[in-house]
Amino acid sequence: MDTATSKQGLGDIMKQSAIPNSTIPSIGLGTFGLNGDAGTKAILAGMDIGYRHIDTAQTYDTEKNVGDAIAQTPIARDDLFITTKITAENFPRLMDSLRDSLANMQVKQADLTLIHWPAPYDEVPVSAYIGELARAQDEGLTRLIGVSNFTRKHLDEVNAEIGEGRIATNQIECHAYLQNKILAQHCKDADIKITAYMPLGRGKLIDDPVIVDIAGKHSATPAQIALAFLLHRDCIIIPKSSNLERQRSNLAAGDVTLDTGDMVRIDELEKGERLVDPEWGPTWD
């Protein structure tokens, strides 16, 4: 994050209109668990305080919540960035399932559509479904396409099937305790942005003594420091919260400027602690 961005604040940037077609806002609102009326209200509250990037998925059961929030907010559709994810069970009907998602979200087009996970146990090859995702983009169902939880091997298979430059982001678990440096470098080399889910390590990072110490130095919260670390690494972050003050605090992480010493100290917290590791998942890098 450059000096000009940190001085202006990512929160202010995201309140600006007309999000460029190629831009994914750096701070998004995750919606996993934001179900029911309370979930819709939390999403609306997030939009009201400045979130413009909203992240959902077919398996979260929050696409309708996002749709209701979009229908109720006075914010113009073009000023919102809506991401959803295709679940593996829908690979055989990928485009139809995306049309269902668009109906649930009450939009004509998604801004970003991801493959949520590679097929369980890799029983279905990437080549069997990634072309359909590219076709969804070609037919205008989504502006950008990407993947989630893909390894270097999977990304190479994507590029071999649909060509380089099609994938906008790889959404992966990423936080100070699991920095995924090998995969992150591979993505950087391929001009694929990293979107970090679970950026606070399920809340573990807010109690880390190093994070707490740096937070005191900057008059910030520990959560803001953990999030700012990822932003400084040029990651997109999608923290989830139903609490308005935590939503506001997370958004303000874009205004925190860490120095080189801070970054080194946080970097040294790496311990390969993976929190999301289903038995059917990929062999991680």
- Read off the pLDDT of residues 186-223 as tens digits, 9 standing for 90 and up: 999 999 999 999 999 999 999 999 999 999 999 999 99
Do 7 and 216 contact (CB within 8 A), yes or no? no
Provide the strand spans (E) within the chain.
28-30, 53-55, 81-86, 110-115, 142-148, 167-173, 193-197, 236-237
pLDDT at 46 over 70: yes
Question: pLDDT, tens digit, for every residue of 140-168?
Answer: 999 999 999 999 999 999 999 999 999 99
pLDDT at 12 over 60: no
Buried b (16+ CB within 10 A) or exposed e, 105-124: bebebbbbbbbbbbbeebee
Domains defined along the chain, listed by start: 24-199+236-246 (3.20.20.100)
Chain-centre distance of CA 118, in angstroms?
A: 17
pLDDT of residue 23: 87
Any idea how long the chain is? 285
pLDDT confidence of residue 20: 65
Give the residue numbers annotated as catalytic, written as ranges.
Answer: 60
Does 3 have pLDDT greater than 60?
no
